[in-house]
Amino acid sequence: MKKVKNLILTTVILTLLGSCVDNYQDANPPRPLDGPYFTLSAGGDVLETPENGSFIGADQTIVFTLLIINCQGGIDSVGVTVNEEDLGTAVVNEASLSAVKGNIQGEITVSYTTVSQVLEETDLEIDVTLYDGQQEIDWFGRTIDYRKSATESYEVTLVVCTSTGLAGEYNSVANGFFGDGSGGPDAAYSDLLAEIIITEIRPGLYLIDDMTFGLYPQLYGDQAVPGRVELCGDEISDKGDTDHYGDPFTISGTLNGDGTVNLTWQNTYGDRGTVVLTPI
């Protein structure tokens, strides 16, 4: 009789345990797999400088490489968003995606090509998102979305030009006028000699160590005025820098085929000059 009672008790306990497991499973769906983890690197036409960050010009392409370290839900797709949508086009390399689709590791490339004409310098933030292949499930009348994603961001400055060839040391010969203080010319000066150093900040953007080309330090006894210029093809234009008195400078000119440079400059005080730079 005792054995029969023990058998009945055991049967009841097992039935209750089974019911608890079913109830637990009903209330708790399967755990999702971990989301993707990847690193993002950039190559192609992008210019990276430690001092000034990353730059790219018109009609150029950044090639992104996604190195997928772990994607337990299986590699599925890639999306790209940019804060300035009308300045470029992103394309996922479908061959590289197909080669690793469904895997937990792999490598995918994405290209971002800028527009053919850039009107002004713009900071871009490019977000690259990797999605896994986990699907939604119907769990006792509830729809559960298991799909996960991860995003890496890349910041780059889209610049008007990335031309090269202006940097160097030059002998300068300048002719022009002192300013009258109101923006007009006063007394003339001629054959002013100076040595000028032009330094590349990045391709397309340069620093002139004295944008008065000797006028301030030699004829005024004042300090030289550094300033930035842009080089687009062979055309040179200023960035609107000012001297220590707050006077803006305008500069325009050309980089010639023989390496010489022809410039004209003026400030709002009225100082001005025409300059020929010859490489030393």
Domains of the chain: 37-158 (2.60.40), 168-279 (2.40.128)
The answer to whether the CB of 118 falls within 8 A of the CB of 159 is yes
The answer to whether the CB of 236 falls within 8 A of the CB of 166 is yes
Q: Look at residue 40 in the predicted model and tell me its pLDDT.
A: 98
Q: Look at residue 266 in the predicted model and tell me its pLDDT.
A: 98
Task: List, for the chain, all residue ranges whose pLDDT scores fall below the cut of 50.
Answer: 12, 16-17, 19-22, 24-25
Q: Look at residue 10 in the predicted model and tell me its pLDDT.
A: 54
CA dist 231 and 255 (Å) reads 8
Tokens coding 82: 């940019």
Q: Look at residue 9 in the predicted model and tell me its pLDDT.
A: 52
CA dist 127 and 213 (Å) reads 45
The answer to whether the CB of 109 falls within 8 A of the CB of 44 is no
Query: In what side-by-side order are the strands of the sheet with 106-114?
Result: 37-44, 61-70, 106-114, 88-92
The pTM for the full model equals: 0.70
